[in-house]
A and B are shown apart, each in its own frame.
Chain A
């Protein structure tokens, strides 16, 4: 005659309960490498864009009547800002070292807050920085042209692109805000649990 606790504690576990330190280190290296490659890909993409923009500005590979320097520099600044944000957000400082060893409720709250903050601010630091440079360039291509020379892009197309982008990003903003509100609700429930 045994009780359910005994059944639980004496169950057989077919998995290898003791994992060697070599396996642990190899898994840790694999995880670190995956994160590094992901960040490296993003840095490489940004650096390539910066290099192309710098080359366009320095060699004047754009039409003489367009002042490409300003939107170009704005795009370079946006790329640098995003690189800095990614570095800062994925650095050790962003995650307290002892977080994983905190009580489950505190840990869960930290995770939910991180998700909520990411949802409510990602578009601000990842998308918005590129907008001034892009809009400036579009406006320039549609408006700056010598008399008798057709503009690079039709004004109606620019308007369509700007309105579509605005509509898309407003929808994304609402979706993010809705997600953040749901996480807020879960955080409230956690606070209630903590106060019990």
Chain B
């Protein structure tokens, strides 16, 4: 694949998925400078990855795979605080009532806090669920079977309904 195609693919991907990539970076990094650094790392990895992209999967799947893999690498490298699974997170007591989390800004902050506590691939499933992806797409990106994805989505829904009163976040 030539340089022109690589650039074109990147420009297309950045235009189409740029906001989703920024949300992903925001979920992984609380600190603004680290977040920008991660976002730039994702864009760089994406641009470089298009030299070996030969239509193995859809553009969307490829973009999310690259972005999540950069996120994973960073988490592994930085040895962030102990991460837990969805099941373990569900067992933790919610410090605030759903009413407290009713404001959108506050809800967003809490949501990002929850994602940062999760270990892979649970964090990825939750992020992709929030991006409104179906189980098949999540399976393609994470490598989990559709059954495993379905189980996790179920847990994500339970967790979200416990921490936020669905439909009343604003």
Residues of A within 8 A of B (CB): 1-5, 7-9, 11, 13-15, 17-19, 21, 23-24, 27-28, 31, 97-98, 100-108, 111, 193-194, 196
Q: Are B36 and A15 in contact (CB under 8 A)?
A: yes
Residues of A within 8 A of B56 (CB): 98, 101
Q: Which 5 A-B pairs have the closest CB atoms?
A: A103-B143, A105-B143, A17-B18, A13-B22, A97-B52
Q: Are A21 and B148 in contact (CB under 8 A)?
A: no
How far, in angstroms, from A19 to B14 measured CA to CA in the complex?
8
Q: Are B23 and A104 in contact (CB under 8 A)?
A: no
B16 to chain A, nearest CB (A): 11
B26 at interface by CB-CB < 8 Å: yes
Q: List 10 A-B contacts (CB under 8 A).
A: A4-B111, A4-B164, A7-B108, A8-B111, A15-B35, A18-B14, A19-B43, A28-B48, A101-B69, A194-B143
How far, in angstroms, from A21 to B144 measured CA to CA in the complex?
33
Q: Are B148 and A193 in contact (CB under 8 A)?
A: yes
Residues of B within 8 A of A (CB): 7, 10-11, 14-15, 18-19, 21-23, 25-26, 32, 35-36, 39-40, 43-45, 47-49, 51-53, 56-57, 62, 65-66, 68-70, 72-73, 76, 104, 107-108, 111, 120-121, 124, 129-132, 140-145, 147-148, 151, 160, 164, 166-170
How far, in angstroms, from A57 to B36 measured CA to CA in the complex?
54
- Given A8-B108, A111-B72, A103 and B141 touching (CB < 8 A)? yes
Give the most central of A4, A18, A102: most B CB within 10 Å: A4
Q: Are B25 and A8 in contact (CB under 8 A)?
A: no
A33 to chain B, nearest CB (A): 14
Q: Are B43 and A24 in contact (CB under 8 A)?
A: yes
- Which of chain B's residues has its CB closest to A13's CB? B22
Q: Of B19, B62, B69, B145, which contacts A107 at CB under 8 A?
A: B69
Residues of A within 8 A of B167 (CB): 1-3
Q: Are B52 and A101 in contact (CB under 8 A)?
A: yes
How far, in angstroms, from A175 to B147 measured CA to CA in the complex?
38
B75 to chain A, nearest CB (A): 10
Q: Of B15, B66, B142, B169, which contacts A4 at CB under 8 A?
A: B169
B125 to chain A, nearest CB (A): 10
Residues of B within 8 A of A2 (CB): 104, 167, 169-170
How far, in angstroms, from A31 to B45 measured CA to CA in the complex?
11
Residues of B within 8 A of A196 (CB): 144-145, 147-148, 151
- Given A1-B170, A3-B166, A4-B111, A193 and B44 touching (CB < 8 A)? no
Residues of A within 8 A of B145 (CB): 194, 196
Q: Of A9, A15, A18, A98, which contacts B132 at CB under 8 A?
A: A9
B19 to chain A, nearest CB (A): 5
How far, in angstroms, from A19 to B49 measured CA to CA in the complex?
16
Known: A15-B32, A24-B43, A98-B52. 4 other contacts (CB 8 A): A4-B169, A8-B130, A100-B45, A194-B143
- Which of chain A's residues has its CB closest to B127's CB? A8
How far, in angstroms, from A157 to B10 measured CA to CA in the complex?
62
Residues of A within 8 A of B22 (CB): 13, 15, 17
A101 to chain B, nearest CB (A): 5
